[in-house]
Amino acid sequence: MPNPIETEIIRCALLQAAEDMNTTLIRSAYTPTIYEAKDCAVALLDREHRVLGQSSGLPIFLGNLEECTRATERLYGRDVWQPGDVWVLNDSYIGGSHLNDVTIYAPIFNDSGESEPQLLGFAASRAHWIDMGSKDPGGSMDSTSIYQEGLRLGPVLVEKGGQPCRDVLELISRNVRFPEPTLGDLRAQIACSRIGAARLREIVERWGLDTIDAASAEIFEQTATLERNAIAAIPDGIYCAEGLLDNDGIVLDVPLPVRVAVAVSGDQISIDLSDSADQTLGPVNCGAAQAVSACRVAYKLLVSGDIPLNGGSFGPLDVVLREGSMFAAVEPAACQYYYSHLGLLIDLVIKALAEALPLRVAAASYGDSLITQFTGVDPRTDKAFVSQEATVGGWGAWHDSDGESCLINNVNGSLRDMPVEVLETLFPVRVNHYGIRQDSGGAGKHRGGNGVIREYTFEAEQHLSLWWERSKTPAWGLFGGKPGLPPQVLLNPGTASEQSILKANAVSVRKGDVLRCESGGGGGYGVPNERDQASVDLDVAQGLISAESSARYGA
Amino acid sequence: MTYRVAMDIGGTFTDVVAYDENTGTFEAAKSPTTPRDLTRGMLSAIDKVVENAGEISFFVHGTTQGLNALLERKGSKVLLLSTQGMRDVYHIARGNRDRMFDLHYRKQQPLVQRADTTEVRGRLNWKGEELEPLDEAAVVAVAEQVKCGSFDAVAVALLFSYLNPAHELRVGQILRQELPADIMVVLSHEVAREWREYERTSTAVLEAYTGPVVRKYLSKVQEKFSAAGMDVPVQVMQSSGGVVNASFAREHPLQTLLSGPVGGTAGGAAVAGLLNLKNAICVDMGGTSFDVSLVLDGKPDISHEGDADGFPLLTPLVKLHTIGAGGGSLAYAEAGGLRVGPESSGATPGPACYGNGGTRATVTDANCLLGRVDPTWFAGGSLQLDVDAATSAIGSLAAELNLDPVDLAGGIVDVANAKMAQAIRTLTVEHGLEPQEFTFIAFGGAGPMHAEAIAQELGIREVVIPRFPGAFSAWGMIGSNVRRDFVHPFFIQGELLDQDSMVDELKALGRRAGSALEDQGIGPAHHEFEYSVQMRYQGQDYALTVPLTAADEPAEEDFLQTICHRFGELHESRYGHSTPDAGVEFVSLRVSGRGLLPAMTPKPFEPVAEAVGKRSQRVIFQSRSWDAAVLRREELPVGETVEGPAVIVEGTSTTVISPSSRARVDENGFLIIEVGAK
């Protein structure tokens, strides 16, 4: 039985092993989606698939990499794990997210010399690959089945006994649009597995497997204790909230309900999503694993932000899903936009618990990645291009602060906006305006953050695709706070041909057309007339609210 | 004229090191920092090492004036002028979050409030061509706004100015015409000639925000020095590890932002030079923080971008990685587990053993309990440690965790060491290197106490404890050369390269650097130039700096092939892969001009005559009590070998050597620890 000192040194070493995996992945990746936007996550698992250490650039990848090793074992049995093997998987119904999110994982064995090698654990990483060979470059906004979304890989070996499986690499490179960087990212993920394996082997060699087992049991128990205490502090009860997603991108006039029922009882919490919409024709579906991850994000935001994440995490959390719903989609549901309903779900869990945890919660945020995509052939180079941008927006206020303005949404984290100078250099568009959207944050004792306005002029004919959400349920306020403004996208605003659109797939636009994109604001917290006059005046002076709208704060 | 003096002005103490050119000897001292008027503390520090201040021939210092103004938000009132439609770029700040699970996330409060941002018509395109002329009348109106609003500085950041600075230059001309001379005008392309408008704007704002404070400070120092009979020009350490004179620093104050801590890395590079080391890890551990930086191939690891208190900065600076671990790191229990740091006891109350009312256990308390400090002679005898307070702080935590207090004390130090070792490993892994390929250089008050144990943890065989570890930043500055960096944008795809024009531009840059060095009073015979080119694969956002052998290297026939190969190798070592057949593009040309100061020829180290001599005390290693020698460092002669276990004390620091290692004193007076040699 290790003492608390050994346990803590082992705990730090395991966390650092995961950090080293993350550093290696980011350092070696080929595409900016990984090394810049950090659309990736890594985990070091023990041989029972429990997390020893994890690091993530994307909150929504929280705690579900182990689903991949578990599913492989369920399918092929425990004997399938062999030294030197590396596996790949991107099946949406296992990993939960879209096919672009590819998980690479490897069993880790000790170097035992004469005796039978012993399984120590697994090293896994997930990263967004820029193209999986879907019907449209990068991914479609109007897919209606997974078969349109690209190459789908079940658990498949990419290395066997330390040697690359050339047939599988050929299969991949013949099915994706950009094989060179894609295989580069694959190699980066393999390098990441190798570092994870080497680090875990070093740790086991130094301390012995029995000590590691005992220490990790103790480490998990520490986390479990902290989490149970945090849940026990929430008053028992059943807390509900619901909201509407605009549509599935195909059937535009049917909003999709998301309903959460959170039950707290003693030191246990359950989140029931079974009353939410059925799986949809359009691509706003996810596999069960990703719905569980989203609930874990909400849980982490509310109760366990600072508690270390490991195999002891999330014990008190039960997630109830209905198979065939948009949160537990089954074949052949399209999953490209697997996260729009997850962003809403996270905000709704927080809303449900507002009465129980008034000091922990925040009003709703603008809520979605709001994707704007331009594709075509750049007349300056005669080369095909794909420009894809996510949009920042306003976050909700809380008990002692205004919400932040122009911040990336809750399922993302490290994602940065595209600099105007880089965008205009790489693509045939010009940005006329990029600024704070005045008055878009909800009024309240504490004001919601403002969204953003980004206006483009197209410098050449091209195709426009949009995935903009949350107009039916814009960011709500809490405790008397007002909602933020919904998003709005206008093509050629202020002209006879003005057109308001939020979702579009490859619509033709002409040179000189103008596109104005306005993201939503966050919700306010507390009744507006309790806001102190000095703060209202300051907001007017800073131009965050207009002089006219300051009347909303009148007594 | 016989002394060279270097000074590091910290929050609490001003460290000074003097080199006597006649005797070839160094001397170091410390004096309390006097925040209201720093020159008082500076002059009294000088008094401690130099008899006649008029005999100082060279004076360099690290100043934290700019950084403090930033950290305390006491910088100047800045107006930000942007291109029409772009005033909020600075406030949007790219929209990313650096904490993933925080529902109450707020960005760093911007240094310019939104009401103080304004726009002007005039637009360039992605090639730097003018789409719309500059609205000059609007600029004149902005000048009025500056005067009426009592602003101290204006930051001008226009789109694509890195390609074509014409609009920014014209704005600068108009503002300088209209405004009184004491209002600083900063043009973004002059501080950071690179793309990405938010980062460039942030750099310009940082210069405008901290600049006026630094200017006032430097003028005052020069004035007070003259009044004290010191006519020596005041030199300042730059964030990039080179030295510049005060009149340059007044014009480019931002380049001195990280002036203080960088001295340690410069010192690390100097040590690496003396000992012929290729790669070194420089560790500066004080009371609350632990800074790691690297020396690679004998040179400080310099990055062309970084951040200051969360604001991006596109200027060359030494890469410092800071973690919250120090002597003051708190140990505590959480759910039955032991945790050490990052929370710190801070300056007050500090560790329990400081006797200022601290009751919670810290790393220093643990060291105290283990006998790894000399309680009667801590910090050069300036502080008497309260061993009882340390024992009681550790004791109550031990009771909570059900551990023996001495075991716990060892454990606290082990956990702290393990965390620091891991932070170091992450830094080297980023470069694709393992720590075993480095020598460890430890300094700061607490660095030498932990160095051997951390090296042990990392598998490093050699640790260097330089002289004056508590004033090492100052020591590092004294030997630094003058350095001036220039960048010129040079956007072209590899296959379209005009080799002659690249040579012409490089030579022009070299001439600029040369005349800048002459402005610093350094003749051409002592100039050295390093040319480099920034390159990337076509379509990449970020570029790598690829060294050139000379300004005319691009004239060589197979240059494109050579440089692509060199770039590929660099890409391989930085990112683990390269793509030999992919197209490359050039982004900018750089020159780093160094003005070599006359070399110092220090005499071999001489110990002071034996005064106190050898004592011994009980020290705990691996839960065992050992009889360890306690030695005064200044009494150890060159060539002396010290077998562990031993504790070597000196004015500002304590070096601990475990039973499995030994140390020797080299001719520089450095302690060289051979880790695990016994």
Encode pLDDT of B402-412 as tens digits. 999 999 999 99
C-alpha dihedral sign at B367, B368, B373, B379: positive
Q: What is the mean pLDDT of residues B112-124?
A: 98
Residue A180 confidence class, pLDDT cut points 50, 70, 90? confident
**B579/A435 Cβ within 8 A:** no
* Residue A195 within any structural domain of the chain: yes
Q: What is the pLDDT of residue B131?
A: 98
Encode pLDDT of A130-161 as tens digits.
899 999 888 889 999 999 999 999 999 999 99
Q: Structure tokens of B338?
A: 């032991």
Nearest-angstrom CA–CA distance, B54 and A48 = 73
* Residue A508 within any structural domain of the chain: yes
**B334/A222 Cβ within 8 A:** yes
Residue A233 confidence class, pLDDT cut points 50, 70, 90? very high
**A431/B85 Cβ within 8 A:** yes
Report the 3 state secondary structure along A425-450. HHCCEEEEEEEECCCCCCCCCECCCC
* Residue B248 within any structural domain of the chain: no
Distance from CA of B591 to the nearest CA of A (A): 25
Encode pLDDT of B304-351 as tens digits.
888 899 999 998 899 988 877 788 899 999 988 999 988 888 777 889
Nearest-angstrom CA–CA distance, A387 and B196 = 17
* Residue A398 within any structural domain of the chain: yes
Please state the domain count of chain B.
3
A413 has a pLDDT exceeding 70:
yes
B462 touches chain A (CB under 8 A): no
A80 has a pLDDT exceeding 90:
yes
Which residue in A8, A57, A360 is closest to B415 by CB distance? A8
* Residue A312 within any structural domain of the chain: no
> What's the pTM value of the predicted model, to 2 decimals?
0.93
Element (H, E) at B330: strand B329-334
Phi and psi angles of residue A53, each rounded to the nearest 5 degrees, phi first: -160, 145
**B579/A406 Cβ within 8 A:** no
Among B563, B595, B627, which residue terminates a domain? B595
B387 touches chain A (CB under 8 A): no
* Residue A371 within any structural domain of the chain: yes
Distance from CA of A20 to the nearest CA of B (A): 6
* Residue B319 within any structural domain of the chain: no
Please state the domain count of chain A.
2
Tell me, yes or no, whether B488 and B585 share the same domain. yes
Q: What is the mean pLDDT of residues B351-376?
A: 90
Nearest-angstrom CA–CA distance, B421 and A199 = 14
Encode pLDDT of A490-509 as tens digits.
999 999 999 999 999 999 99
CA angle (B473 as vertex; B467, B476 as ends), nearest 5? 70
Reported ipTM = 0.94
Residues of A in contact with B107 (CB under 8 A): 404, 407
Q: Which residue of A has its CA nearest to B422?
A: A16
CATH code for position B165: 3.40.50
- Phi-psi sector, B355: left (phi>0), alpha (psi -120 to 50), beta: left
Encode pLDDT of B461-475 as tens digits.
999 999 999 899 999
C-alpha dihedral sign at B97, B98, B103, B108: negative
Residues of B in contact with A9 (CB under 8 A): 414-415, 418
Encode pLDDT of A509-530 as tens digits.
999 999 999 999 999 999 999 9
Phi and psi angles of residue A371, each rounded to the nearest 5 degrees, phi first: -85, 130
Residues of B in contact with A59 (CB under 8 A): 100-101
* Residue B549 within any structural domain of the chain: yes
Nearest-angstrom CA–CA distance, B277 and B432 = 19
Residue B110 confidence class, pLDDT cut points 50, 70, 90? very high
* Least confident segment among A215-219, A318-322, B487-491, B608-612: B608-612
Q: Structure tokens of B610?
A: 């034996």
Tell me, yes or no, whether B589 and B623 share the same domain. no
Encode pLDDT of B553-601 as tens digits.
999 999 999 999 999 998 888 777 788 888 899 999 999 999 998 888 8
Residue A216 confidence class, pLDDT cut points 50, 70, 90? very high
Encode pLDDT of B518-528 as tens digits.
988 899 999 99
Query: Are residues B157 and B80 in contact, defined by beta-carbon separation less than 8 angstroms?
Result: yes
Q: What is the pLDDT of residue B382?
A: 66
Phi and psi angles of residue B13, each rounded to the nearest 5 degrees, phi first: -120, 150
B1 has a pLDDT exceeding 70:
no
Q: What is the pLDDT of residue A83?
A: 95
Portion of chain B with pLDDT greater than 70, in percent: 98
Residue A435 confidence class, pLDDT cut points 50, 70, 90? very high
Residues of B in contact with A416 (CB under 8 A): 94-96
Phi and psi angles of residue A338, each rounded to the nearest 5 degrees, phi first: -70, -5
Tell me, yes or no, whether B98 and B139 share the same domain. yes
Q: Which domain holds residue A174?
A: 4-224
Q: What is the mean pLDDT of residues A22-46?
A: 88
Q: What is the pLDDT of residue B613?
A: 64
B430 touches chain A (CB under 8 A): yes
* Residue B268 within any structural domain of the chain: no
Q: What is the mean pLDDT of residues B55-75?
A: 90
B307 touches chain A (CB under 8 A): no
Q: What is the mean pLDDT of residues B16-38?
A: 89
**B415/A5 Cβ within 8 A:** yes
Say which DSSP state B494 is in. Answer: G
* Residue B394 within any structural domain of the chain: no
Tell me, yes or no, whether B77 and B174 share the same domain. yes
Query: Residues A217-233, buried b or exposed e (16+ Cβ, 10 A)?
Result: bbbbbbbbbbbbebbee
* Least confident segment among A97-106, A320-329, B369-378: B369-378
Nearest-angstrom CA–CA distance, B558 and B554 = 9
> Of B461, B460, B452, which is closest to residue B428 (Cα–Cα)?
B460
Q: What is the pLDDT of residue B598?
A: 83
Residues of B in contact with A385 (CB under 8 A): none
* Residue A341 within any structural domain of the chain: no
Q: Which domain holds residue B643?
A: 615-674
Among B165, B199, B214, which residue terminates a domain? B214
Q: What is the pLDDT of residue B609?
A: 67
Among A169, A190, A224, which residue terminates a domain? A224
Q: Which of B87, B100, B329, B542 is the mutation pick for testing A, counting most A CBs within 10 A?
A: B100
* Residue B298 within any structural domain of the chain: no
Q: What is the pLDDT of residue A404?
A: 98
pLDDT, chain B, mean: 91
Q: What is the pLDDT of residue A53?
A: 93
- Measured in Å, how far apart are chain A's first and last C-alpha atoms? 65
**A419/B198 Cβ within 8 A:** yes
Q: Which residues pair with B332 in a beta bridge?
A: B339
Element (H, E) at B19: strand B13-20
Q: What is the mean pLDDT of residues B628-644?
A: 92
Q: Structure tokens of B169?
A: 């230059």
B181 touches chain A (CB under 8 A): no
Q: What is the mean pLDDT of residues A337-351?
A: 97
Q: What is the pLDDT of residue B612?
A: 66
Residues of B in contact with A207 (CB under 8 A): none
* Least confident segment among A142-156, B236-250, B452-466: B236-250
Residues of A in contact with B201 (CB under 8 A): none
Among B549, B565, B595, which residue terminates a domain? B595
Residues of A in contact with B575 (CB under 8 A): 27-29
Helix (H, G, I), strand (E, B) or coil at B411: helix
B378 has a pLDDT exceeding 80:
no
Give the residue carrying structure tokens 């997850």.
Answer: A342
Q: Which residue of A has its CA nearest to B404?
A: A3
Among A186, A201, A224, which residue terminates a domain? A224
pLDDT, chain A, mean: 94
Encode pLDDT of A275-300 as tens digits.
999 999 999 999 999 999 999 999 99
A1 has a pLDDT exceeding 80:
no
Tell me, yes or no, whether B191 and B150 share the same domain. yes
Which residue in A407, A422, A424 is closest to B97 by CB distance? A407
Does the bond joining A332 to the residue before it have cis omega, within 30 degrees of 0?
yes
Tell me, yes or no, whether B643 and B530 share the same domain. no
Helical pair A340-352 and A288-302, crossing angle rounded to 10 deg: 40
Residue B379 confidence class, pLDDT cut points 50, 70, 90? low
Among A224, A247, A278, which residue terminates a domain? A224
Q: Structure tokens of B329?
A: 């790191």
Which residue in A27, A195, A407 is closest to B430 by CB distance? A27
* Residue A63 within any structural domain of the chain: yes
CATH code for position B528: 3.30.1490
Helix (H, G, I), strand (E, B) or coil at B657: strand
